Chain A
């Protein structure tokens, strides 16, 4: 996914302290994300990952440091431009449904930007088609499942045509099926339209499928690298209160029992291949 362009999001030495608190929620955090990348930000509760998400679209301002989105530097004057570039999906499916019906909810953001009626209708329909919810135009939120509501929330964001979408634990309140639906939708957007995805998550299986993982600990970036690099650090991750994906755990138990698995497999399919080869190698 590296295409040598200028990064779409870069933050430099960002620190942030909540009012009335002693310790920094974020301290000297720096990284940059390039266009089309899928980045997972992981960390235990209170590691500062949600604060980071809020800083990336101006819901919070850093106490110090610089946040740049595209060519725009985050400041009080530019937040509205930044919010046009960066969309965000939150955790609770119920609390982020602003409209009375599905189409009203998707249209809400467009109304805010003063899009004209005809174009709005088209964009609403198009966005709902993208998330496979076009048959639910007039449904009310209490008739939808959690996964469906989250997909409508995503449609509300993509109707605004952002370049970056932040998923702030967007799948954490969903059942496994709903989670899969939502992630597949975002994956499609990521691969077909080059949408940059920043996914803040507790779900390590989900993180393992990202292009890159940033591990946060106590307001610092603990490690930044590909899933392979990150899950290399098995023991360290566990000492940070994190976990490793199932294939990694499985492989390490196998190793303890004397099987030689040379490669680190991150997905079930990779592990299966590995075991398959091992079996034939005998």
Chain B
């Protein structure tokens, strides 16, 4: 569990850490979209320069980001190879039945690899430099217009922040239940798939029951402290949009324009 980099926060004090979560989220989402504008080596070079620049100013070591890609590397390679093997076009180097290795296939495979890695790098930058609570605040504030469509935005973000807050508790509890079952002779990760699945039941059931109890007690606590989903609430945290946030958005716009200019019209 501890190897997962995606979704973890690294305390720090870079200018990215100090950005408003809203601008980071907006920039991150727009980056994923403009990634698809790239269609030649010039545009990809620009995107890579931007990505490495962002990684550099996040003051987190590149090693950490590479570790973030590692769990997904097989998925990425699988997609890249499918792309290489089944795309025809341009000069064909090898052909055998359906399988074709062609110039276009290789180029496309390369692009897809770049896209995947850059998406992971940029989203890791966001989660590494933003506290989970700020992330939920940012999401809440960005989803605000959805209230117009009768979507319960505040409830969703409250649920999100409570879930985030309980992750360490549930991990602890899972460990405890597993140890308790081990002490009674359960062996995890042994035997056939079916047997392995059966050993999970004595973990899931107690966890599920205790989550229900937790939820019930939590609901009591919230009620006692006056939580009423129908009533208007004030908010303790205030997000502050600063000059640097506007700058971040301007950088994204410049990047988009740059990509448009370098994009080959085909």
Contact = CB atoms under 8 A, between A and B. Distances in A.
Report whether chain A binds chain B: yes
Interface of A: 54, 57, 59, 80, 83-84, 87-88, 90, 92, 94-101, 103-104, 107-117, 120-121, 124, 140-142, 153, 156-157, 160
Nearest to A121: B236
B108 to A, nearest CB: 43
Interface in B213-244: 213-214, 217-218, 220-228, 231-238
Interface stretch (B90-98, B121-129, B158-166): B158-166
Contact of A117 (B213, B221, B234): B234
Contacts of A54: 220
A104 B236 contact: yes
26 contacts: A57-B224, A59-B224, A80-B228, A83-B223, A83-B225, A84-B226, A87-B224, A92-B217, A95-B214, A96-B221, A97-B165, A98-B222, A98-B225, A99-B161, A100-B133, A110-B236, A111-B233, A111-B235, A111-B236, A114-B234, A117-B235, A117-B236, A120-B236, A124-B236, A140-B168, A160-B225
B96 to A, nearest CB: 56
Interface residues of B, number: 31
Given A100-B161, A142-B168, A83 B133 contact: no
B28 interface: no
Interface string B165-182: 100110010000000000
A142 B232 CA distance: 30
A104 B237 contact: yes
Nearest to A109: B225
A88 B219 CA distance: 13
Chain B interface SS verdict (over half): helix
Interface of B: 132-133, 136, 161-162, 164-165, 168-169, 172, 213-214, 217-218, 220-228, 231-238
A263 B214 CA distance: 46
A101 B133 contact: yes
B225 A116 contact: no
A23 B234 CA distance: 43
B154 to A, nearest CB: 10
A96 B217 contact: yes
A80 B161 contact: no
Nearest to B173: A94
Nearest to B220: A59
Contacts of B162: 98
A117 B235 CA distance: 7
B234 A99 contact: no
Given A59-B220, A92-B217, A99-B165, A160 B226 contact: yes
Nearest to B215: A95
Nearest to A119: B234
A85 B226 CA distance: 11
A92 B166 CA distance: 14
Contacts of B161: 99-100
Contacts of B236: 103-104, 107-108, 110-111, 117, 120-121, 124
A115 B234 CA distance: 6
Given A100-B132, A104-B237, A95 B222 contact: no
A109 B226 contact: yes
A92 B217 CA distance: 8
A156 B213 CA distance: 22
Give the most central of B228, B233, B234: most A CB within 10 Å. Answer: B234
